[in-house]
């Protein structure tokens, strides 16, 4: 039975600074801060930020739901509270302030309509007017117009007719009387729609200031574009990333809503040190680019870039990133793994992952119930879940993971399918990871969770996502009765690498673009090696190989008899005929000679069998000029 007041769960310290959880029954006023009272310091409080905004203490939906809806004892609830406190303390991201910019370029086909718009909104908007047809003394008419996204703006390039050069004009007035159609005004506006191009004004001008066909290229950059009348444009970008900055008159409400100062939180960032996209070759992993529905993930000269103003924090890019270069800072990989290590449940325990609103709603509909062998965890965006998260949770002792979705949403779909495919090859439950609705969840939690294989070893939280995943998969492969097969459409980022030893010169150029460490070199043994479990099949190494010696081999088998590291190519050392020093490989030496012969630059083959020092001595005959 539920009580008549809200039950608060709070983490505090005793006199010996030992943390423990206490419970308080106190009325909670929706919209007001949480009214907890304690003589001891309060570190974190169970609650829901949507109900208790501006709380004096950090609020944790996870702590509140586990305290109310599970059979967690005080020891486990304290561990959860400490993990939530650590999560709160680790949640850091950069915040910047964007100033309001009310500049908008207005394109119109009718000068009268454009003038009325300026009269109405000129005091609110900084309007840069352009006509696309017709002629008017107050507005420039643009032709050959192109619009291109440019960072946070739109770049307009266009041609403007300039029949009168005001730099040359001395305003002598010689042109005015000779115009038979009176199309040249005293303000030097030439009405090209009235003009019959008789050239009388051109001949009359003593300074050559009039050119009826004169034109000038212009460029304009603005944060927004408004199209009046039936004006249409083509946005010069493959995926139209600037389309949300182009408005029609019926979208004025959206235009005004976009003009405001605001704080921009960099909640999703990309670490170029482990990102497998190569700026130099334009090749490599582009999964984040392909999944972002808001065109917030782009490429510039420094690599993958996330436009924080476009980003709507859906988490898809973080969930699809195979290396963990993209991190979601509300709950990054390291903090998630730390949470799992701190809680460490027993076997046959269900973990429920849900976004804050869904978790709050489930708590609201199930007050008074208690679910055994269950833990709830608020995860900010389920679409940010990766296979590593799920395998780490299963490996720490959770026997199944239920993702509380809403309606037809499919959060974490690829990660869920991958985890289930892997566990279907083990002696475990058929579907250890499931997406469920709120109506299904309560009945499922009343069922006993099936046992599942666990990986008791600790996880190195300081490593990157792919290294951690490789370690988890290797442990599962060792425990499996038959090799685990990771192949097909569910596992596009798993596979091995083939190398043609006859082509490879062991130049090691491929190592430069393998930031995740799947390619390694033993320089003493002149050996190129590959760690298939670390390879994300991005193809950057293949693109950078000057000899075209590398090729991807999709699909991977994991098992105790499958080597973790394979040898791709071994080279014969090139030793100096004089001093015996190694100065390269036999393959690279022969390749260089082939290229030099093609350019007729080789006169003495034997000379190239000496190191740089001995070669100079032989060329100059061993002279000592000192």
pLDDT tens readout for residues 333-383: 999 999 998 987 765 689 999 999 999 999 999 998 999 999 999 999 999
- What span, in angstroms and rounded, lies between the C-alpha atoms of 102 and 222? 9
- What span, in angstroms and rounded, lies between the C-alpha atoms of 7 and 10? 10
Distances (CA, A) of 539 to 305, 513, 515, 518, 544: 20, 9, 12, 12, 9
pLDDT tens readout for residues 385-431: 999 999 999 888 888 999 998 644 456 788 999 999 998 888 777 78
Whose structure tokens read 């190398």? 499
Lowest mean pLDDT among 66-70, 265-269, 568-572: 568-572
Burial class (CB within 10 angstroms; exposed 0-12, middle 13-18, buried 19+) of 529? middle
Asked whether 390 and 419 are in contact (CB, 8 A), the reply is: yes
Return the top range by mean pLDDT from 30-34, 64-68, 121-125, 188-192: 64-68
- What span, in angstroms and rounded, lies between the C-alpha atoms of 404 and 455? 25
pLDDT of residue 425: 87
Any bridge partners for residue 305, and if so which?
298
pLDDT of residue 273: 94
Measured in whole angstroms, how far is the alpha carbon of residue 354 from the centre of its chain?
Answer: 22
Would the pLDDT of 1 be above 50? no
pLDDT of residue 623: 46
**Looking at beta carbons, which pairs linking 24-33 to residues 24 or more positions away fall under 8 Å?**
28/52
For 316, residues 6+ apart whose C-beta sits below 8 A from its C-beta are 291, 292, 293, 383, 384
Mean pLDDT of 165-192: 91
Any bridge partners for residue 313, and if so which?
none
Whose structure tokens read 């009945």? 443
Would the pLDDT of 511 be above 80? yes
Helix (H) or strand (E) holding 122: none
pLDDT of residue 360: 95
CA angle 428, 433, 436 (to 5 degrees): 135
Lowest mean pLDDT among 110-119, 279-288, 615-624: 615-624
Mean pLDDT of the chain: 87
Q: How many CB atoms lie within 10 A of CB 535?
A: 26
Q: Is 339 helix (H, G, I), strand (E, B) or coil?
A: helix
Looking at per-residue confidence, does 117 or 604 come out higher?
A: 117
pLDDT of residue 85: 96
Would the pLDDT of 39 be above 90? no
pLDDT of residue 339: 94
- What span, in angstroms and rounded, lies between the C-alpha atoms of 417 and 455? 20
Would the pLDDT of 40 be above 80? no
Distances (CA, A) of 164 to 171, 188, 198, 202, 208: 11, 7, 15, 10, 9
Pair type for strands 225-227 and 6-13: unpaired
DSSP letter at 425 equals T
Helix (H) or strand (E) holding 74: helix 74-90
Distances (CA, A) of 308 to 96, 293, 313, 349, 424: 10, 14, 9, 38, 39
Return the top range by mean pLDDT from 45-54, 420-429, 446-455, 613-622: 45-54
Helices 74-90 and 333-343: angle between axes, nearest 10 degrees = 170
pLDDT tens readout for residues 237-265: 544 555 678 899 888 888 887 777 777 88
Mean pLDDT of 52-66: 92
Considering the entire predicted model, what is its pTM? 0.77
- What span, in angstroms and rounded, lies between the C-alpha atoms of 43 and 20? 10
* pLDDT cut 70: percent of the chain above it: 94
pLDDT of residue 206: 94
pLDDT tens readout for residues 297-313: 999 888 999 988 889 89
- What span, in angstroms and rounded, lies between the C-alpha atoms of 301 and 129? 33
Q: Is 149 helix (H, G, I), strand (E, B) or coil?
A: strand
Any bridge partners for residue 532, and if so which?
none
Token pair recorded at residue 621: 């005959």
Any bridge partners for residue 283, and if so which?
278
Looking at per-residue confidence, does 573 or 129 come out higher?
A: 129
- What span, in angstroms and rounded, lies between the C-alpha atoms of 21 and 521? 52
Q: Is 361 helix (H, G, I), strand (E, B) or coil?
A: helix
pLDDT of residue 375: 95
Asked whether 124 and 102 are in contact (CB, 8 A), the reply is: yes
pLDDT of residue 239: 46
Instruction: Give helix then strand counts, H and E, for the chain.
Output: 16, 32
The total number of residues shown for the chain amounts to: 626
What domains are there in the chain, each with its CATH number?
Answer: 1-90 (no CATH), 103-257 (3.30.70.20), 262-328 (3.30.70.20), 495-570 (3.30.70.20), 573-619 (no CATH)
pLDDT tens readout for residues 465-491: 999 999 999 988 887 778 899 998 889
pLDDT of residue 491: 94
Q: Is 313 helix (H, G, I), strand (E, B) or coil?
A: coil
325-347 burial, b at 16+ Cβ within 10 Å, e below that, comes to bbbbbbbbbbbbbbbbebbebee
Q: How many CB atoms lie within 10 A of CB 608?
A: 15
- What span, in angstroms and rounded, lies between the C-alpha atoms of 476 and 501? 32
Looking at per-residue confidence, does 603 or 419 come out higher?
A: 419
Question: Phi/psi of residue 86, each to 5°?
Answer: -65, -40
Distances (CA, A) of 263 to 3, 260, 577: 40, 10, 67
Asked whether 236 and 148 are in contact (CB, 8 A), the reply is: yes
- What span, in angstroms and rounded, lies between the C-alpha atoms of 125 and 145? 23
pLDDT of residue 410: 58
Asked whether 422 and 556 are in contact (CB, 8 A), the reply is: no
Return the top range by mean pLDDT from 262-276, 567-581, 608-622: 262-276
pLDDT tens readout for residues 561-574: 777 889 998 887 77
Query: Radius of gyration over alpha carbons of the chain, in Å?
Result: 34
Mean pLDDT of 76-101: 91
pLDDT of residue 455: 61
CA angle 487, 492, 494 (to 5 degrees): 65
């Amino acid at each position: 039975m539920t009580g008549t007041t809200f039950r608060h769960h709070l983490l505090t310290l005793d006199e010996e600074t030992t943390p423990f959880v206490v419970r308080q029954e106190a009325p909670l006023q929706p919209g007001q801060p949480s009214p907890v009272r304690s003589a001891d310091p309060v570190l974190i409080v169970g609650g829901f930020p949507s109900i208790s905004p501006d709380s004096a203490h950090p609020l944790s939906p996870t702590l509140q739901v586990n305290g109310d809806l599970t059979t967690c004892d005080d020891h486990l609830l304290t561990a959860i509270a400490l993990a939530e406190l650590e999560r709160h303390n680790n949640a850091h991201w950069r915040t910047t302030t964007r100033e309001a910019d009310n500049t908008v370029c207005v394109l119109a086909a009718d000068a009268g309509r454009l003038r009325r718009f300026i009269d109405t909104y000129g005091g609110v908007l900084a309007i840069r007017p352009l006509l696309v047809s017709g002629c008017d003394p107050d507005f420039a008419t643009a032709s050959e117009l192109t619009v291109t996204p440019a960072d946070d703006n739109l770049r307009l390039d266009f041609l403007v007719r300039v029949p009168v050069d005001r730099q040359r004009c001395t305003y002598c007035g010689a042109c005015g009387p000779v115009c038979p159609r009176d199309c040249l005004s005293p303000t030097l506006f030439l009405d090209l729609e009235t003009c019959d191009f008789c050239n009388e004004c051109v001949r009359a001008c003593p300074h050559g200031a009039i050119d009826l066909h004169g034109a000038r290229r212009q460029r304009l950059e603005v944060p927004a574009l408004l199209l009046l009348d039936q004006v249409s444009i083509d946005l010069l970008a493959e995926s139209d990333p600037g389309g949300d900055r182009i408005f029609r008159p019926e979208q004025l409400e959206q235009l005004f809503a976009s003009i405001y100062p605001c704080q921009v939180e960099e909640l999703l960032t990309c670490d170029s040190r482990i990102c497998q996209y190569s700026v130099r070759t334009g090749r490599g992993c582009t999964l984040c680019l392909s999944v972002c529905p808001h065109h917030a993930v782009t490429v510039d000269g420094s690599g993958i870039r996330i436009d924080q103003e476009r980003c709507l924090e859906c988490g898809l890019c973080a969930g699809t990133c195979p290396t963990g270069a993209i991190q979601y800072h509300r709950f990054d990989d390291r903090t998630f793994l730390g949470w799992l290590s701190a809680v460490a449940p027993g076997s046959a325990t269900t973990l429920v992952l849900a976004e804050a609103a869904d978790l709050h709603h489930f708590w609201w509909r199930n007050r008074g119930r208690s679910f055994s062998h269950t833990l709830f965890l608020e995860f900010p965006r389920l679409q940010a879940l990766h296979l590593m998260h799920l395998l780490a949770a299963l490996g720490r002792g959770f026997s199944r993971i239920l993702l509380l979705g809403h309606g037809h949403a499919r959060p974490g779909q690829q990660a869920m399918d991958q985890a289930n495919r892997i566990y279907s090859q083990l002696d475990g439950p058929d579907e250890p990871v499931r997406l469920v609705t709120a109506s299904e969840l309560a009945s499922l939690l009343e069922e006993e969770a099936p046992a599942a294989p666990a990986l008791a070893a600790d996880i190195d939280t300081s490593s990157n996502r792919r290294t951690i995943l490789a370690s988890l998969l290797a442990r599962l492969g060792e425990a499996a009765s038959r090799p685990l097969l990771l192949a097909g459409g569910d596992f596009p980022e798993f596979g091995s690498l083939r190398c043609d030893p006859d082509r490879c010169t062991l130049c090691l150029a491929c190592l430069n673009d393998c930031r995740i460490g799947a390619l390694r070199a033993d320089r003493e043994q002149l050996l190129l090696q590959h760690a298939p479990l670390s390879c994300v099949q991005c193809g950057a190494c293949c693109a950078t190989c000057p000899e075209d010696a590398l090729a991807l081999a999709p699909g991977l088998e994991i098992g105790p008899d499958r080597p973790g590291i394979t040898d791709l190519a071994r080279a014969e050392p090139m030793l100096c005929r004089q001093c015996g020093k190694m100065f390269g490989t036999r393959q690279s030496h022969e390749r260089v000679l082939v290229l030099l012969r093609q350019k007729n630059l080789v006169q003495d083959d034997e000379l190239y069998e000496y190191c740089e020092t001995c070669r100079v001595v032989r060329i100059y005959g061993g002279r000592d000029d000192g």
